[in-house]
Structure 1
């Protein structure tokens, strides 16, 4: 097994792929390095002596500056490394031409809806317009399980605390996300459950939903019903009969939309799982499919790599706005733009936001950027898209689903059990996590440091996604987990 990796020829640090002991003698290219201290797995050590204020290079890019002189073979982390990032920046478009070529078509077994769109699940969803009816929604979910049949994958409610007492864009975004979920093709039937007096009442929400199939989307106002649970169960029975008519059929992968997210990262995230997801993304796009990258704050420090892959200068400017608008959001709340990574990230070996971002953006592969989406905006094109959403796992994954992702690929070095409204596939960065939390993790990229080539893992992941799109449940679905979180951005009355 390889003990460490120097990711890029220009790097002046390497990453331990397993725990390394003080006094170990390592050969990095033509350099001999004697470790001055123990190095935990996923953490960095210096290949050369660095003076105070010198750039630390990883992935071929700066991840910060030394706080003090650091000798060769030393552990370098938050105690002696600081971020080099600053405030809102000015960017210049330096386009890079992608060499990604088309590849042979591939197919999955999906559901073709009446409007021509495609789903990978045939679920029935209960969507409250307002938090006041959350308990009713969950009660309906429990009692509606009797209507499950062979052709219905799941009956789920998505409670949330919003829909009233909101102002401005905050209210608009809630309505848009709810409308997106109502129209998502993974749902063969939807019950929209309202209270009646809320700001985002059903009649108001219909303006955001637009055209809909009245057999697929039904509405119930609880204040207008004598027994809202009994009435809701009657509607669920009708929706089950309607949705139960759909059958899986061959669908080209050009119609598949996959969201990409990471959380609870470690020092191996940018070496194993994220690059594998990036290679998967390239593979799907080569077949005409679509992938979506989000968590904008975790692009800070690596944003120019995405900007220069924009297919047009207009997309470049939209990406600049995507980045700077999120920085202004931080500033408007008097928060430090570069206050990241989290305690779990740091424990896993990530020292600065640049360190995390350069690893995070590996998920985007090498494809050109062909779309930039605002929060809640549906995907309309093909290829790689960037989506405005925060780094929070539940909020960002829900945003991916709302924009149209059929499945979310979630890479993690720490592990998490959560799920968003669509199948949420957990991908481990290391084998120890995969073995320890086999009830959470669907796919292991830790074997990459044990000798499995990246392209082979990407092909295996592609096959796994096709099986999931064709009906194979991910671990969180098997556990019955489903979560839903809206980005809170404004005043609550």
Structure 2
């Protein structure tokens, strides 16, 4: 079992996979060319150990790339951390990305996933019923509508889930702020994971239903319904009626085999620690390489996590 890892053979640091005590020895390389270093101090799991002397100002190499530089001389076997290392990032860096061939090349395969094909050709990985409020004022009404509907139908299949996409916006917003809210809500209405949507408004918000519907463009009228509370005498009763109409339209929904080329996967930063870069990140990188080879897509959604790696990612 590995107790430490030198990620790239050019790295001058290794990552401890367990807690190390001063005086313990690290050995690596082939038997004929084996190298050893004795730990000069305790090093905790997930932290870096210098495999060779690093002069002041010298690069600290991890993943085969400089991740920073030594701010004081570091001896082989010492703990490499923020007390003796500093980032190389300063100001604005000009660079040109020159990709290298991926070390793991995947061939295209005839692989599929089980998804829900929508009328417009898009594919969802879920089949859910959503109430999308145009304004936060109707969040409570939306909950009443959805709860009564679920009580009346009992089993909501083939819907796999039913929920209100609550938010606190849509009223007294101006300019780009208002436009961004409307765009996000429209994207939700048209999302492929939504098998049915009730768009619920109040009637006096500046996120007006008429403009909202025009901005949506084409939609499946059997699965997307609209309701303004102030235009009916009992918005709960009318909302439940519309949900029943949607429910009737989805009864034949079934999963079907869909090529991986139509799958989009969003990647999000998790709880980063000293081991993320040698566990989760490489795994997601391999997955992204594989998906790209199949014509699919992965999207890295938290770009601040790229800082310092722009030239290699």
Q: Is this a same-fold pair by TM over 0.5?
A: yes
Find the counterpart in structure 1 of residue 126 from structure 2.
Answer: 121
Q: Is the 8 A contact 2:150 2:156 kept in 1?
A: no
Give the conservation status (yes or no) of the 8 Å contact 1:149–1:244: no
In structure 2, the residue matched to 1:21 is 21
Find the aligned partners of 2:14 and 2:79 in 1 and give their Cα distance.
10
In structure 2, the gaps of 5 or more residues are none
Q: Is the 8 A contact 1:130 1:162 kept in 2?
A: yes
Q: Which has the higher helix share?
A: 1
* 2:269–2:305 Cα contact (<8 Å) kept: no
Is contact 2:99–2:312 with CA below 8 Å preserved after alignment? Answer: no
**How far did 1:200 drift?**
2.2
CA contact (8 A) 1:122 1:243 kept: no
Greater CA drift, 267-276 or 225-234: 225-234
Aligned length: 306
Closer, same or farther: CA 255–83 of 1 in aligned 2, 3 Å:
same
Of structures 1 and 2, the one with the larger relative CO (CA 8 A, separation 6+) is 1
Q: Does 1:158 align with 2:152?
A: no
Alpha-carbon distance change, 305 to 172 in structure 1, aligned in 2, over 3 angstroms: farther
Shift of 1:123: 0.7
Aligned residue for 1:236, secondary structure, equals helix
Q: Which of 77, 82, 85 is residue 78 of structure 1 equivalent to?
A: 82
Paired position in structure 1 for 2:141: 136
Query: CA, structure 1 residues 83+169, in 2 after alignment: closer, same or farther (shift >3 Å)?
Result: farther
Report 1:38-437 matches (<5 A).
38-96=42-100, 100-146=105-151, 147=153, 148-306=155-313
Say if 1:10 and 1:122 are closer, same or farther in 2 by CA, change over 3 A.
same
1:33 counterpart = 2:40: no
Offset of residue 155 of structure 1:
0.4
Aligned-partner Cα distance in 2 for 1:172–1:5:
49
Q: 1:393-449: per-residue Cα shift (whole Å, max 9, x none)?
A: xxxxxxxxxxxxxxxxxxxxxxxxxxxxxxxxxxxxxxxxxxxxxxxxxxxxxxxxx
CA shift digits 1:150-206 (9 cap, x unpaired) = 311010111122223334333322222211111111111011122222232322222
Over 3 Å counting, the alpha-carbon distance change for 1:80 and 1:245 in structure 2 is same
Give the whole-Å Cα distance in 1 for the aligned partners of 2:185 and 2:97. 36
| RMSD over aligned Cα atoms | 2.2
* Secondary structure at 1:188 match in 2: strand
Q: Tell me how far 1:101 sits from its aligned partner.
A: 5.0
CA distance in 1, matches of 2:176, 2:218: 23
Kept after mapping to 2: 8 A contact 1:191/1:217: yes
Question: Does the CA-based 8 Å contact 2:70-2:85 persist in structure 1?
Answer: yes
Change in Cα spacing, 1:27 to 1:157, as seen in structure 2 (3 Å) is: same
In structure 1, C-alpha distance between the alignment counterparts of 2:180 and 2:76, rounded to whole Å: 51
Deviation at 1:55, TM superposition (A): 2.2
Structure 1 gaps of 5+ residues are 307-493
| Pair 1:46–1:243, CA change in 2 (3 A) | same
Distance 1:46 1:245, change over 3 A: same
Alignment check: 8 A CA contact 1:257 1:290 kept: yes
1:54 to 1:169, Cα distance in 2 relative to 1, 3 A: farther
Matched residues in 1 for 2:229 and 2:293: separation?
48
Aligned mates of 2:228, 2:60 — CA distance in 1: 59
Higher gyration radius (CA):
2
**Separation of aligned partners in 2, 1:52 and 1:140:** 67
Structure 2 Cα separation of the partners of residues 189 and 256 of structure 1: 20
Q: Distance in 2 between the 1:28 and 1:131 partners?
A: 60
Is the 8 Å Cα contact of residues 106 and 290 (structure 2) preserved in structure 1? no
Q: Secondary structure of the equivalent of 1:304? A: coil
